[in-house]
Amino acid sequence: MYDFPITNLGHASSYLGPLTRRSLSLRLSLPRPFKQQRQAILRHSNPFPPELLSKALALQNEDGRSVLHVAASSGHPEVVKILSDIDQSSSVVVNGKDEEGWAPIHSAASIGNVEIVEILLSKGADVNLKNDGGRAALHYAASKGWSKIAQLLISHGARINIKDKVGCTPLHRAASTGNSELCELLIEEGAEVDSVDKAGQTPLMNAVVCDNKDVALLLIRHGADVDVEDKEGYTVLGRASAEFRPILIDAAKAMLEG
């Protein structure tokens, strides 16, 4: 198998000619010897023929990942811009999925690259596109704590209460990771604080199970139900540690009295 150093687009034609989809590995690399060629390409002094760019973009590795997938997941906005400009009349390229249903926007949101997400959205990326796990880009931004990415996705129409295959919303994911700022953002944008996943658990339960005290208290202040039971019959207090339980009780009492 051949490696395809995307940043060395000026030499890519020597790879693309005899190669087939099966024989080409699209692993992105940034070897130092190719730094000068990469800079030349970005200055447009070493243009890559459009027909070869199209050919490169059509190729996939054994996981169904295209060059655009790899560029997005590896954090190279310059390459993403070049590749996404190939066919400006169609969003098919930017919404292409690999074997697990991941599109470039899922990868870009997951690694927290604002510039790449902006490029993909400007080229027609579906902000609510789901992968095989039922997760959209906002799920990944929430689970990783990328507030700027989340805000960007929301501004482009991301569904706040979109659920994955196990019934988790972005707020479930953010509550699990303990990012209070992101949870606050999602709630302000309309996230349902008592949304229930397939296990019967709410974002508050997720925060409690993960011992994320600040997020749990934030959710209670926003009216999260502390008495709801999951499918195993546990309440929020039942899921809490002995140390955490009194804090939750005091917070719930304060809400009732306030």
Residue by residue, DSSP assigns 71-107 as HHHTT-HHHHHHHHTTTTT-STTTT---TT---HHHH
Angstrom CA distances, 42 to 47, 52, 61, 93, stand at: 9, 17, 25, 21
Question: Alpha helix locations (H) across the chain?
Answer: 12-16, 35-42, 50-58, 67-73, 77-84, 104-111, 114-122, 137-144, 147-155, 170-177, 180-188, 203-209, 213-221, 236-239, 245-257
State which CATH number among 1.20.120.1200, 1.25.40.20, 2.60.120.10, 3.30.920.30 fits the domain covering 162-258: 1.25.40.20
- Higher pLDDT pick, 64 / 151: 151
Q: What are phi and psi of 247, to 5 degrees?
A: -65, -40
Domain ranges of the chain: 162-258
What pLDDT does residue 93 have?
A: 81
- Asked if pLDDT for residue 200 goes beyond 60, the answer is yes
Residue 51 has pLDDT above 90, yes or no: no
Q: How far is CA 226 from the centre of its chain?
A: 30
Can you tell me whether residue 23 is helix, strand or coil? Answer: coil
| pLDDT number for residue 91 | 67
The Cα 155–Cα 174 span in angstroms is 18
Tokens of 69: 């997938």
pLDDT at residue 100 greater than cutoff 70: yes
Query: Could you tell me which residue, 258 or 253, shows the higher pLDDT?
Result: 253
| Per-chain mean pLDDT for the chain | 83
pLDDT at 215: 98
The lowest-confidence range among 1-5, 54-58, 82-86 is: 1-5
What SS3 state is found at 50?
A: helix
Residue 227 has pLDDT above 80, yes or no: yes
Does residue 30 register a pLDDT over 50?
Answer: no
247: pLDDT strictly greater than 80:
yes
Mean pLDDT within 187-215: 97
